[in-house]
Amino acid sequence: MATSKKKNKKSYIIFVLSLIFTFIVSLLYCYIAGHSVNESVAYGIYTAVHEPEEKVIRSHYNQIPKAQRQAMLEQIVVDNKDLKGIFYIKDGKYIYSDRDISMKKDIVADLSNKVDEYKNKAVYYYIDKKDIYGSPAFIYMFKFGSGFYQMIFYQEAITPPSSIFNSYVVSNIDNTILSGNNNDSFTIAENTLHGLSLSVITGISLSNFFDIYLIAFLPVLMIILLIPSVIEKVQLRQDNILIDINAGIRNKEFIPFYQGVYSIEKNRFVGVELLCRWNYKRQKILSPASFINILEDSGQINTVTLELLNQLAIDQDLLDTINPEMYFSVNVTVNMLLDDDFVESVIQFLTENPRLKNRITFELTERDKRFDYIADVKEAMCLLHFHSVKWALDDFGTGYSNFLTMHKLPIDIIKVDRMFISSKNDIISFDILTKIIDLLDTWKLPIIMEGVETEEELNKVKNLSIDLIQGYYFSKPLSVGDFIKYARS
């Protein structure tokens, strides 16, 4: 019974959420689609009316006989499918037009009244149910010189196309609706056609909105039903990865790969960085991108880092054949330093491996947002510094810290990010790097340029008199055996 009530409550919540989200989705669709329709209708009307108007004005400036002017107006009408005819009116008479009618003919009384009514307006419009050609038309008149041009359009020229959105055209002169209808619509968008004194208004009726709502309801309901399933699958996948990670730790599948740090001055490797790789089920090597965030979030990164240090102690004899004074760097996070157990474990490791004294460097990334705990971080760093651990600041120039804050920490080495020398970046980035190097020189600290991959980038670094280089140009991350072979070759 209790289970049944829970299911009913869950179904009710899903149904209510579907109603709410469908309403939001429907509103959003109406807003976007309504504005699109409004823009389309406005552009169509503006083009239909404004383009022939410009041509008429240009033709008027030409000092040509009336017969030739008539031919020009006729061509304008022929070129525009929405235009019926063009007339020039002055002093209550037709002066000329696009076709052969008797000049100086008086205009009809109804038009004469309109001219008198709007004589102080630059433009005006009206819908003639039966124009000079005997059919409904949209009449557009505008002042020119001491007279008026009368342009007669098919009414369809300003009639919005039929759609679920109701668009109608309003005269800004007297607010009359010239075409379309509002049909008790809720207004969505309004577009004023500057220079034509027209506005296009688009809205939607309640019944049409309800139709959209009904169409959207089922997809929204299905999405809401699927979301918990998707979240569950993602969570299950993450849980499975955590299970695999725990198994990997037990089976010692997390191994160090070594990337050399090269000295241009000494012409050899003077250090290596330990980079974590996952020998997944002894079948394939996975890069940190697939697991490092999960390790950090779960706190397992501490255990894995200590295991990498233990493996380093085993690999030390081989690495010393390359350079017996080589240093070994390992990445750590602020959270790791805030963990007293981790710090104590590192001290114990150093006590048990005295040959590594003064040869371990921990790298802190400047991108770490948790430098807010600067006092606690400094305390842990100083304690490990006392036990012969050196400190490198990684990704310098890319993070959240400021120079003053970082200067307070016991930093021994600065590692500058590759973004400043990448060929994809411009000369401004390199200029910034130059200024950074000048500043770091005042600190009297060794500088390592990271991510050097090409000869062009190497030459940039040499021009800055930087001695220590890390990157694919000299060495990519390799297993200990492969690194030894590479370094000896």
What is 2-208's CATH number, 3.30.70.3000, 3.30.450.20, 2.40.10.340, 3.50.50.60?
Answer: 3.30.450.20
- What is the average pLDDT value for the chain, to the nearest integer? 84
Q: Kindly report, residue by residue over 168-215, the tens digit of the pLDDT.
A: 787 776 777 777 777 667 888 888 887 777 888 888 888 889 999 999
Q: Distance (Å, rounded) from C-alpha 364 to C-alpha 399?
A: 11
Q: Distance (Å, rounded) from C-alpha 55 to C-alpha 62?
A: 11
Confidence bin at 7 (pLDDT 50/70/90): low
Burial class (CB in 10 A: 0-12, 13-18, 19+), 3: exposed
Instruction: Give long-range contacts, CB 8 A cutoff, 24+ apart: 179-187.
Output: 179/127, 179/138, 179/155
Residue 78 has what pLDDT? Answer: 87
Report, as an integer, the average pLDDT of 28-48. 87
Q: Distance (Å, rounded) from C-alpha 325 to C-alpha 408?
A: 28
Q: Kindly report, residue by residue over 455-488, the tens digit of the pLDDT.
A: 988 988 888 889 999 999 999 999 999 999 999 9
What strands, in cross-sheet order, belong to the sheet with 137-144?
Answer: 105-106, 93-97, 83-90, 147-154, 137-144, 123-128
Token pair for 167? 């668009």
Confidence bin at 5 (pLDDT 50/70/90): low
Residue 398 has what pLDDT? Answer: 65
Q: Distance (Å, rounded) from C-alpha 48 to C-alpha 157?
A: 7
How many other CB atoms are found less than 10 A from the CB of residue 353?
16
Question: Is the pLDDT confidence value at 278 over 80?
Answer: yes
Residue 156 has what pLDDT? Answer: 81
Residue 375 has what pLDDT? Answer: 84
Collapsed DSSP state (helix, strand, coil) of residue 409: coil
Mutual orientation of helices 301-320 and 340-352 as an angle, nearest 10°?
A: 20
Residue given tokens 């959240």 in the structure block: 400
Collapsed DSSP state (helix, strand, coil) of residue 146: coil
Question: Is the pLDDT confidence value at 369 over 60?
Answer: no
Helix H segments across 83-170? 109-117
Residue 3 has what pLDDT? Answer: 56
Q: Kindly report, residue by residue over 108-162, the tens digit of the pLDDT.
A: 767 777 777 766 666 777 777 666 666 778 888 888 878 888 888 888 887 787 7
Q: What residues pair up with 51 in beta bridges, in sequence order? A: none
Question: Is the pLDDT confidence value at 254 over 90?
Answer: yes
Q: Kindly report, residue by residue over 8-19, the tens digit of the pLDDT.
A: 677 778 888 888
Confidence bin at 310 (pLDDT 50/70/90): very high
For the chain, which residues make up each domain, given as ranges?
A: 2-208, 235-488
Token pair for 26? 């429907």
Residue 174 has what pLDDT? Answer: 72
Helix H segments across 62-130? 66-79, 109-117
> CA separation (Å) from 116 to 91, 93, 110?
11, 13, 10
Residue given tokens 């075409």 in the structure block: 179
Confidence bin at 250 (pLDDT 50/70/90): very high
Confidence bin at 32 (pLDDT 50/70/90): very high
Confidence bin at 343 (pLDDT 50/70/90): very high
Residue 347 has what pLDDT? Answer: 96
What is 235-488's CATH number, 3.30.2130.10, 3.40.630.10, 3.20.20.450, 3.40.50.10860?
Answer: 3.20.20.450
Question: Is the pLDDT confidence value at 241 over 90?
Answer: no
Please report the beta strands in 181-267, taking only residues with DSSP state E, as ranges in sequence order. 186-193, 198-204, 254-263
99, 108 Cβ separation under 8 angstroms:
no
Helix H segments across 276-391? 292-298, 301-320, 334-337, 340-352, 374-386
Which of 13 and 339 is assigned the larger pLDDT? 339
Q: Distance (Å, rounded) from C-alpha 300 to C-alpha 293?
A: 10
Share of the chain above pLDDT 90, in %: 32
Question: Is the pLDDT confidence value at 400 over 60?
Answer: no
For the entire predicted model, the pTM comes to: 0.58
- C-alpha closest to that of 123 among 97, 151, 102: 151
249, 300 Cβ separation under 8 angstroms:
yes
Residue 317 has what pLDDT? Answer: 95
Q: Distance (Å, rounded) from C-alpha 291 to C-alpha 289?
A: 6
Instruction: Give long-range contacts, CB 8 A cutoff, 24+ apart: 479-485.
Output: 479/255, 479/257, 479/258, 480/256, 480/258, 480/315, 480/318, 480/319, 481/318, 483/257, 483/258, 483/260, 483/272, 483/319, 484/318, 484/319, 484/321, 484/322
Residue 439 has what pLDDT? Answer: 78
Q: What is the DSSP letter of 111?
A: H
Residue 401 has what pLDDT? Answer: 53
Q: Do domains 2-208 and 235-488 have the same CATH topology?
A: no
Question: Is the pLDDT confidence value at 72 over 60?
Answer: yes
Dihedral sign for Cα 269, 275, 281, 284, please.
Answer: negative
Q: Distance (Å, rounded) from C-alpha 262 to C-alpha 272?
A: 9
Burial class (CB in 10 A: 0-12, 13-18, 19+), 28: exposed
Residue 425 has what pLDDT? Answer: 56
Residue 101 has what pLDDT? Answer: 56
Report, as an integer, the average pLDDT of 371-377. 78
152, 141 Cβ separation under 8 angstroms:
no
